[in-house]
A = this chain, B = another copy of it.
Amino acid sequence: MKGILYVISGPSGVGKTSIIEGTLKRVRNLVFSVSYTTRKKRPNEIEGKDYFFVDESTFKSMIERDEFLEWAVVHGNYYGTPKKFVEENLQKGFNVLLDIDVQGAMTVMKKVKDAVYIFIAPPSFDELKQRLIKRGTENEIDLQRRLEDAKKELSYIPKFQYIIVNVNLNESIDQLCSIIVAEQLKVERFIERLGEYRIFEEGGKADARCGA
């Protein structure tokens, strides 16, 4: 049986990375797809864990070889999701989590109809601004650009299926875990997996669960 693709999106600075890290520790059978980017590595980031950091010519040749499920230029940098990694893991039955910008999510939405689209929103604009300032990785121009982009991005909320308002990290992790588990229990997905569960015969199996 094929895995489920979960697409997490939302403005810069909203806390996506922390929510995803907490969720990956708790949910079984879930892998994270590491994106490629031409953005400079931040001091706390790890190559191959947070991103694959590549130069622009490498990125462009990957575009030419059609190696991205989606790619976009965000705040002047390229970001892309490796197609092969996502497809292979879904085929193997793993659920796959993507952390991508809103443009990227719109692209994936056109290509992958049965994915689950989750928007992470800030409690308020002011809160988002404070978080970006606190992160201290942005200069004033970048900060203004990210805030302007965030306004546009919030207008895409109605295109998503779920929204998590990130007020409290632990609650947001709980909420993301709940969405991930609940989607595995959808009857429409279950019907595809009926043979595996064998409810009408003997046996049976249920593996959708949030670890404590």
Indicate if A161 sits at the interface (CB-CB under 8 A). yes
A contact residues, total (Cβ < 8 Å): 49
Query: A149 to chain B: closest CB distance in Å?
Result: 15
A154-B199, A178-B182, A181-B175 known; A167-B205 Cβ under 8 A: yes
| A125 with B158: CB separation less than 8 A | no
Asked if A121 meets B182 with Cβ closer than 8 Å, knowing A187-B160, A206-B171, the reply is: no
Q: How far is the CA of A164 from the CA of B183 in the complex (A)?
A: 11
Q: Mark A179-191, 1 if CB is under 8 A from B, else 0.
A: 1011101110011
- CB < 8 Å neighbour of A124 from B154, B161, B199: B199
Measured between alpha carbons, how far is A202 from B128 in the docked complex, in Å?
A: 10
Q: Given A178-B210, A205-B165, A210-B174: A121 and B199 within 8 A (CB)?
A: yes
**Contact residues in B for A172 (Cβ distance below 8 Å):** 206
Give the dominant DSSP class at A's interface. mixed
Q: Give me 16 other A-B pairs in contact (C-beta within 8 A), A165-B197, A165-B199, A179-B181 excluded.
A: A122-B204, A124-B199, A124-B203, A125-B201, A125-B202, A126-B202, A127-B204, A164-B206, A165-B204, A165-B206, A166-B206, A171-B209, A174-B210, A175-B181, A175-B208, A178-B208
Interface residues of A, Cβ cutoff 8 Å to B:
119, 121-127, 154, 157-158, 160-168, 171-172, 174-175, 177-179, 181-183, 185-187, 190-191, 197-206, 208-210, 212
Sample (30) of A-B pairs whose CB atoms are under 8 Å apart: A122-B199, A123-B199, A123-B205, A124-B199, A126-B202, A127-B202, A154-B199, A157-B191, A162-B182, A163-B187, A164-B185, A164-B206, A165-B197, A165-B205, A166-B206, A167-B204, A168-B206, A171-B209, A172-B206, A175-B182, A175-B185, A175-B208, A178-B178, A178-B181, A178-B182, A178-B208, A178-B210, A179-B181, A179-B182, A182-B183
